[in-house]
Structure 1
Amino acid sequence: SPASVCIVGASRKENSLGKAMLNIMQQMDYRGKIYPVNPNADVINDLQVYPSINALPEIPDLAIVLLPFQMVADALEQLGKFGIKNVVIISAGFREIGGEGIEREKELIKIKEKYHLNLLGPNCMGFFNTAPGTSFNGTFSPTVPNPGNIAFISQSGALGVGIMELAVDTDLGFSLFVSTGNKSDINDNDILEYLYTDPNTHVIAMYLESIDQPEIFRNICRKITAVKPILAVKAGRTESGLRAASSHTGALANPEYIVDGFLKQCGIIRKNNMKELFDSARVLTYQDLPKSSHIAVVTNAGGPSTIASDAIEKAGLELARLSKRTSRKLKKILPVEASVENPVDMIASADHNTYHDALEIIIEDDAVDAVLLIIVRPPVNTTPRKIAQTIEALIYNCAKPIIAIVMSRNDNESGLKDFKRLNIPVFKYPDDAVRAMATLWEYQKIQQRFRRSETIVSTRKMGQTLISGRGAENNQVPLKNLIELLESYDIKCAPNIISAAEENICRFQKSAHDSIVLKIANEQIIHKTETGLLKLNINTKDELLSAMDELKTKANPFLPADVKPLFLAQQQVKGGVELVLGGKRDSQFGPVIMVGIGGIFVEVLKDVSFKIAPVNAYEAKEMLSELRSQALLNGFRGQPPVDRDAFGYTIQQFSLLLAEHPEIVEIDLNPLIWAESQNKAIAVDIRAKVK
């Protein structure tokens, strides 16, 4: 927190940013010195105004610049010469508008580097800090923020203004707000480092439009999420802008899929919108984490509890199975018409004493680790306010999270102030409350995961660099080289031979114990199935010779005139679920791997999970758990189940391969077929593209 601040561009004009900034700073009872700078004023808001930066009586801790963009560079130069080290540039008209704005921002960066400045912005809203004894507001928001324990980092300043305005009438309280703007110097990583040790911040919420320095960001976030939750809304979830790609991985690697996987690896809980973000933030601020996903619902109305039950299942939570002892106790205090199973419907006659007695019984049940308390305004002689007051002693002695759903108009009897005093978040609708409760459990799992996770170190393999074959136009790696590389990482391929000689292929078929598969292996031809260059279920020499003749004829139009068809004969792997492992080198995040349900429908089903390579054993298995087709992985209609530990090991090895071979641009193993007899996924179709 600055002990003194100068406002370059402070103004007497009402409705100007320079006046708004000064007004709000004084309204927050800032205890430091304020030095307005304006050559055309003597006094503003009873403060002495200084005609220039050089006229200031001391070197302030912070300078805030609110000038037209044409004047900003000169002002920054003067601030640097005067010795001020910390600068916030509110002014817009830089990189965000493109063209000349990009050049103007480059000039600011040069000045910043020349004087070793710490620069926030440009094109930002500033920051505030509500810590006790600080109360500094360096924004132009017209709303004084509620103090609290949520830090909010936003790349959009206008969005920050809107959130502050909406938060006034809620129980949302903020420790810190920072608008990062164009992030020409200070970025999310710098702010996160500060928040890691900030005692006044318990929860971090972020609005992101871009992620800078992903590896640094990931390391900081993993450190923070061990002690504080991070929630984020990342803008841009559409599929526009995808480039055409030769591999399945390239086609499926929507930047948002990659971002989603990256944020999970950071330990960040991603939210769909700002309402979900702050609903979850206030619950995480006030409530303990549940020990499990087992939830009890206590209600005086059946409809809302049914909605809550559906939402609980959809969110991956579970209705707790109440003990027989709990049910017997509930029967003694509830009418015969009431339900003593979960959800516990006490019916409309329940008053504040009924709520107290039922809640006391339920929170004593070891099978219950969290409670949703639904209150539809009772027709009997009670109110939500009376209910909150009656359960007060229970709440203070309960370590299990409790969220209230009060379906009532907001008045003196709605109990909102009483629930807030008890640190119980209140929602109007069951769906919103369940989503917030699910976030508590998600953060509990993140903490458990990071306690079990190990760091994986990858080392570039200088002596094993892959090169492309004769298919220079698509930079495909010869299959022989790729198979050798995969097997060096303990990734098993189907027994095979690659040859242009008929006698070699026939010898392989004769020695095979089962059917074989024949494909064209030339790297100039990428997709075999689409071009008909694949033959299955070959059992005899005659079938093999016929298949070779057919594939030769079909392959020749796709090959250069001086290149002969090259055959890949494989032992046919039968049965088992078809999986896919893919990898690509992303321009922002580096090596990215994809795991999913494979085969010819991989791009249709899009049942895939992405993470940044390399991944550890826990992250590898987590990728499998993120797939929708869990029934297939668990064994469906006689198919063998996939051993998640064994396939997780293959995923981990594959991620190391990609991380240690930066020459690989894209790589696909599709499909891998799960072979129960070997307890391994066998790669039967592979391809890789190099730089």
Structure 2
Amino acid sequence: MAVFIGGNRIESAVKNLSENNIPNFSFPNQAVTALNKYYQWNMYQNKELEIAKEIINEDKKSKVSEIVRLVRSEGRRALLFSEAEKIMEMYDIKTVETGLLTPNEEVASGYSFPAVAKLDSAKILHKTDKQGVILNIGSQDELIKAVNRIRSDFPGENVVVQPMQDIQTELILGIKRDEIFGPIVVFGLGGIYTEIFKLVDFIIPPMNAEEIKKRLLESKIGFLFAGARGKKPYNIDEMARILSGIVSLSQEAEDIKELDINPLLIYNSNKNSVVVDVKIIF
């Protein structure tokens, strides 16, 4: 590892280092930060024997692999919500009650209002950006109009219908898979605050439930579970259970390259946390 400071005068030297796979940093603090991150990663990879690794559940691993195999056979690289929902259920992660409408299916009665209608497509992953989400639907007639509008804009695609949810605090959870470091679990504050405050942290599997609780309290969103400024704390046991499921999934589903849960709605009451949307790419 080298720290070369000199701008244009050292371009040839930096190029020579790069060609020989020697990392170079422009400032000492960047090098120290990189070394610290590598040290942390190495510590996780070489945990002492008394810290038990999560046991791989071969049954779940096989079921996830079968879902991925079927999707790949259709030439897709992403799951529909209905498929991702099944995987969430396997790992004890609750998703919001959802009705699936295939392209030619009539809109039946019985939905709860207010509701939301969403495009459910493996080709269009950022449906909000593409105007594929219609909120605050107040009646059956409005729902039919909303579904027809989405079908008109996105022919041949599925639509899902969900009841609108009370929002207290939104989190994001996810899996990113690095070719060198393997799976990394991401968690942090979601919703409109994701890009503003950037309160995001990481877990490098394996990590058991007790370690996850400690990690949560030390994280940038630890104040949510500590009851900051007299506020009732959120349920850290529930959050640790959900993150444990994501950690297990990251280890058991090696085909999954990326998973994004946004948002996970959490409450500091007796109401259970619930996933509103999830995207899985392989």
C-alpha distance after superposition, 1:332-390 (max 9, x if no partner): xxxxxxxxxxxxxxxxxxxxxxxxxxxxxxxxxxxxxxxxxxxxxxxxxxxxxxxxxxx
Aligned counterparts of 1:643 and 1:543: Cα–Cα separation in 2 = 36
Give the CA deviation at 1:585.
1.1
Of residues 174, 177, 184, the one that matches 1:592 is 184
C-alpha distance after superposition, 1:579-636 (max 9, x if no partner): 1110011111111101111124424432111121232112322332233344445568
Give the CA deviation at 1:539.
2.5
Q: Which has the higher contact order (CA 8 A, sep 6+)?
A: 2
Aligned counterparts of 1:260 and 1:493: Cα–Cα separation in 2 = 36
C-alpha distance after superposition, 1:155-210 (max 9, x if no partner): 99xxxxxxxxxxxxxxxxxxxxxxxxxxxxxxxxxxxxxxxxxxxxxxxxxxx97x
Match of 1:611 in 2: 203
Q: Cα distance 1:459–1:488, how it changes in 2: closer, same or farther (>3 A)?
A: closer
Q: Which letter maps to 1:644?
A: I
Q: Which letter maps to 1:491?
A: I
Aligned counterparts of 1:506 and 1:640: Cα–Cα separation in 2 = 41
Of residues 464, 481, 486, the one that matches 2:88 is 486
Q: Cα distance 1:451–1:497, how it changes in 2: closer, same or farther (>3 A)?
A: same
Does residue 1:476 correspond to 2:78, yes or no? yes
Q: TM-score, normalised by structure 2?
A: 0.76
Match of 1:540 in 2: 139
Aligned counterparts of 1:578 and 1:476: Cα–Cα separation in 2 = 24
Q: Which letter maps to 1:618?
A: E
Aligned counterparts of 2:96 and 2:241: Cα–Cα separation in 1 = 18
Give 1:436-585 correspondences, 5 Å limit: 454-459=52-57, 461-465=61-65, 466-467=67-68, 468=71, 472=75, 475-500=77-102, 505-509=107-111, 512=112, 514-556=113-155, 564-585=156-177
Give the CA deviation at 1:638.
11
Aligned CA-pair RMSD:
3.8
Does residue 1:262 correspond to 2:61, yes or no? no
Q: Cα distance 1:260–1:632, how it changes in 2: closer, same or farther (>3 A)?
A: farther
Match of 2:247 in 1: 655
Aligned residue pairs total: 258
Aligned counterparts of 2:101 and 2:207: Cα–Cα separation in 1 = 36
Aligned counterparts of 1:538 and 1:675: Cα–Cα separation in 2 = 24
Aligned counterparts of 1:678 and 1:469: Cα–Cα separation in 2 = 40
Aligned counterparts of 2:229 and 2:119: Cα–Cα separation in 1 = 33
Aligned counterparts of 2:191 and 2:43: Cα–Cα separation in 1 = 26
**8 Å CA contact 2:53, 2:206 repeated in 1:** no
Give the CA deviation at 1:565.
2.4
Of residues 14, 27, 34, the one that matches 1:235 is 34
Give the CA deviation at 1:266.
6.4
**8 Å CA contact 1:453, 1:618 repeated in 2:** no
**8 Å CA contact 2:212, 2:243 repeated in 1:** yes
Give the CA deviation at 1:265.
3.9
Q: Cα distance 1:626–1:551, how it changes in 2: closer, same or farther (>3 A)?
A: farther
Q: Which letter maps to 2:41?
A: F
C-alpha distance after superposition, 1:301-335 (max 9, x if no partner): xxxxxxxxxxxxxxxxxxxxxxxxxxxxxxxxxxx
Aligned counterparts of 1:591 and 1:472: Cα–Cα separation in 2 = 24
- Percent sequence identity over matched residues? 26
Aligned counterparts of 1:260 and 1:582: Cα–Cα separation in 2 = 23
State the SS of the aligned residue for 1:670: strand
C-alpha distance after superposition, 1:268-291 (max 9, x if no partner): 9xxxxxxxxxxxxxxxxxxxxxxx
Q: TM-score, normalised by structure 1?
A: 0.33
Give the CA deviation at 1:480.
1.6
State the SS of the aligned residue for 2:257: strand
Give the CA deviation at 1:264.
6.8
For the pair shown, which has the larger CA radius of gyration, 1 or 2?
A: 1
Aligned counterparts of 1:621 and 1:644: Cα–Cα separation in 2 = 7
Q: Which letter maps to 2:132?
A: L
Q: Which letter maps to 2:93?
A: I
**8 Å CA contact 2:264, 2:276 repeated in 1:** yes
Aligned counterparts of 2:266 and 2:114: Cα–Cα separation in 1 = 17
Aligned counterparts of 1:574 and 1:470: Cα–Cα separation in 2 = 38
Q: Cα distance 1:674–1:471, how it changes in 2: closer, same or farther (>3 A)?
A: farther
**8 Å CA contact 1:519, 1:568 repeated in 2:** yes
State the SS of the aligned residue for 1:568: strand
Q: Which letter maps to 2:253?
A: H
Does residue 1:621 correspond to 2:213, yes or no? yes
Aligned counterparts of 1:531 and 1:471: Cα–Cα separation in 2 = 24
Q: Cα distance 1:519–1:469, how it changes in 2: closer, same or farther (>3 A)?
A: farther
Give 1:673-688 correspondences, 5 Å limit: 673-675=265-267, 679-688=271-280
Q: Cα distance 1:488–1:602, how it changes in 2: closer, same or farther (>3 A)?
A: same
Match of 1:672 in 2: 264
State the SS of the aligned residue for 1:664: coil
**8 Å CA contact 1:517, 1:537 repeated in 2:** yes
State the SS of the aligned residue for 1:591: strand
For structure 2, list consecutive stretches of 5 or more residues without a partner in the other structure: 1-15, 25-29
